[in-house]
Amino acid sequence: MGDEMNSDRLTVWRLSASYRHLATAARMVALDPNALVLDSGAPALQADMVSARLDCPSFFCSRQQFVLILAELVRDGLSFDVALHEIDRRSGVSVAYATLHPRLDDGTMRLLRGIEPGMAAYMSEMNDNIERVFEQMTRQIGAGPSYGRLQ
Whether the model clears a pTM of 0.75, i.e. scores above it, the answer is no
Average pLDDT over residues 81-95: 88
1-46: pLDDT as tens digits: 444 445 788 888 899 999 999 999 999 999 998 899 987 766 655 6
Q: In order of start, what are the domains of the chain with their CATH numbers?
A: 7-100 (3.30.70), 102-142 (no CATH)
49-76: pLDDT as tens digits: 788 999 998 899 988 899 889 888 888 8
87 within 8 A of 94, measured Cβ to Cβ: yes
DSSP 103-151: PPPHHHHHHHHHH-HHHHHHHHHHHHHHHHHHHHHHHHHHH-S-GGG--
Handedness of CA 94, 99, 102, 104 (dihedral sign): positive
72/120 Cα distance (integer angstroms): 29
118/138 Cα distance (integer angstroms): 30
